[in-house]
Amino acid sequence: MKKLFCFFSFLVLFFFQKSFAQSKYEFRGVWVATVGNIDFPSSKFLSTEAQKAEFIKLVEMNKRNGMNALIVQIRPASDAFYPSEYEPWSEFLTGKQGMPPNPYYDPLKFMITETHKRGMEFHAWMNPYRAVFNIFKSSVSPTHITKLHPEWFVTYGQTKYFDPGNKEAQKFVENVVRDVVKRYDIDAIHFDDYFYPYRIAGKEFPDTASFRKYGNGMGLSDWRRSNVDSIIRQLSVAIKEENKHCKFGISPFGVWRNIADDPDGSDTKAGVTNYDDLYADILLWLKNKWIDYVVPQLYWEISQKVVGFKVLTDWWARHAYGRQLYIGQGVYRSLEPRSYAWKNKNELPDQIKFLRQYAGIQGSVYFSSTTFKSNPNGWSDSLRNYYYKYPAIVPPMPWIDSLKPIPPVLSFDSSKSSLYSTSIDLYFRDTIKNDLINRYVIYQFNDLDSLNQNDPKNIKEIILSGNNFYHFIFDAPDSQKEIVIAASALTKTNNESALTRYIYLERNADKWEIMDVVDNK
């Protein structure tokens, strides 16, 4: 009986550890919405210095929570969080569309710099077709594209949209995207789920004129899907022409089609689907390799019956077609009074554990950043102290680039001392000039016999390569007598070098003494 109990305990411990296991490679992103000042800036009337301080606070909070990527909305409604020859400054930035920041600065450049400075990726989130957020309330500049080319737009409900069937409008959107990819050091272009808008009961989307002009004998639904397919295909080419290392990601609504409408659909009964209502054939884009990653918005709880989180997670894991799959999770729902399931402190942890059972799922993206300010259900603590305790590298994409960099040279200032009490200053030097190297991974091993580069527990920090300096603080229990420090280089596409030399230290009373420096041949 005792043996049986021990065996059972072993199984429980094994599955417990496996379900919680962190991977060295995991995408951990968070959406930063600017529309309606949801996440940043918190008000459209903040000063330049207040905006900067607020963004730094935002990125540092997400870094502490273990995130390695920000997905920041830089074009909420055919306006811009950066100087643009195509679109005016956003009203959500300065309070009036077309008004630049005062004192002047480039918010996009600033946000990219601050995000990269902390070793994180910056994905530029654009809304493809929304032109005027609210026709009754929004500030609209005289130079806005809806004023210059009103024939490109239609009004549906309280919002004005680009007509997706208008070829000139498609080209304009392409030019806007090209401009950002060409001028800014972004890691990806990211589109959300607003292609054709969500249906309004009793109202048909007013694109009859374009359908008559461009329909070419197609059915209306097929023609609408072909319009969205066209812009995705165009952007896929344009992005890589401007920067072959820039990724392209889409975050669709969580249900492609219900199984009742398509044998390849999910076992759900959703009232809205990508294919039939938003005219977004996301599976086609994945099959044709037009996009690099997909983030379905699975904002439902595990217990949901109609569109269950587990059912859809499993479905998407089987339909990614070799592209990377991150799951969009709705932590914002914990703040909704009637979302009772999200008051359960185990909802998010259980979702993370479930996702990590799938080799075909490479990470998560959370909507949205502001939610974590209040540490709902203690989830910020849970991420920081447990689920995201160790840093993770964004998974590389071998179809973009698989070239591994040469390791940097790791050193320290030997003229200062060989004894260190709490910290040591490390220095990095690339052996050759390589603009593709942009981060270093710093490792801390327990001893010379445990140099496992694949175990995320050994990752100390991921830093921007331009720093070439890292203040290493010793993190070891009193019982530990040895530490080995090493470092690798990462390219912009997250390909990692081998480890450079090892710095081996032993504890000598209350100080750490450098015993050896071993070059890794």
- Tell me the C-alpha distance between 212 and 201, whole Å: 24
Inter-CA distances, 204 with 64, 157, 227, 277, Å: 46, 10, 17, 11
Q: What is the per-residue pLDDT across 224-256, written as a single tens digit (0 to 9) for each?
A: 999 999 999 999 999 999 999 999 999 999 999
Give the pLDDT mean for 304-326: 97
When pLDDT is averaged across residues 204-215 and rounded to a whole number, the result is: 95
Q: Alpha-carbon distance 253 to 33, whole Å?
A: 17
Structure tokens at 210: 């374009």
Confidence band of 17 (pLDDT split at 50, 70, 90) = very low
Range of weakest confidence among 263-272, 363-372, 465-474: 465-474
pLDDT value, residue 2: 40
- Please give the share of the chain, as a percent, with pLDDT higher than 90: 88
133-149: average pLDDT = 98
**pLDDT over threshold 70, residue 521:** no
Average pLDDT over residues 306-313: 96
Query: What pLDDT, on a 0 to 100 scale, did the predictor assign at position 66?
Result: 98
- What is the rounded average pLDDT for all residues in the chain? 93
Closest CA to 424 of 475, 386, 470, 481: 470
pLDDT of residue 424: 94
Mean pLDDT of 470-495: 94
SS3 268: coil
265: pLDDT strictly greater than 90: yes
What pLDDT is stored for residue 429 in this prediction? 83
Asked whether residue 479 carries a pLDDT value surpassing 80, the answer given is yes
Asked whether residue 139 carries a pLDDT value surpassing 60, the answer given is: yes
**Domain 27-387 in this protein, CATH class:** alpha beta
pLDDT tens column, 398-409: 999 999 998 989
Correct CATH for 409-518 of 3.40.50.2000, 2.30.30.100, 3.30.70.20, 2.60.40.10: 2.60.40.10
pLDDT of residue 20: 57
Residue ranges, CATH 2.60.40.10, the chain? 409-518
3-class secondary structure, 298: coil
Structure tokens at 359: 């080799």
Instruction: Give the pLDDT score at 509.
Output: 87
* 98-115: pLDDT as tens digits: 999 999 999 999 999 999
The pLDDT-based confidence of 300 (bands split at 50, 70, 90) is very high
Residue 468 confidence class, pLDDT cut points 50, 70, 90: confident
Residue ranges of the alpha helices (H) in 333-403? Answer: 347-355, 379-382
Question: Does residue 281 carry a pLDDT above 80?
Answer: yes
Q: How confident is the model at residue 137 (pLDDT cuts 50, 70, 90)?
A: very high
Report the pLDDT value the prediction gives residue 511, as an integer from 0 to 100.
93
Residues 391-400 as b/e (b if ≥16 CB within 10 A, e otherwise) read: bbbbbbbeeb
- Mean pLDDT, to the nearest integer, of 430-435? 68
pLDDT band at 21; cut points 50, 70, 90:
confident
Whats the size of the chain, residue-wise?
Answer: 521
Mean pLDDT throughout 444-455? Answer: 93
Per residue in 172-193, pLDDT tens?
999 999 999 999 999 999 999 9
pLDDT tops 70 at residue 19: no
Residue spans in the chain of domains classed CATH 3.20.20.80 = 27-387
Average pLDDT over residues 3-7: 42
Q: Is 277 a residue whose pLDDT tops 70?
A: yes
Range with the poorest average pLDDT among 27-36, 70-79, 175-184, 443-452:
443-452
Q: Write the pLDDT tens digit of every residue in 348-374.
A: 999 999 999 999 999 999 999 999 999
Angle at 358 between CA 313 and CA 334, to 5 degrees: 45
Mean pLDDT of 435-459: 92
Task: Check residue 8 and give its pLDDT.
Answer: 40
Instruction: Using the CB atoms, write b or e for 447-465: b if 16+ within 10 Å.
Output: eeeebeeeebebbbbbbbb
pLDDT band at 18 (very low <50, low <70, confident <90, very high): very low
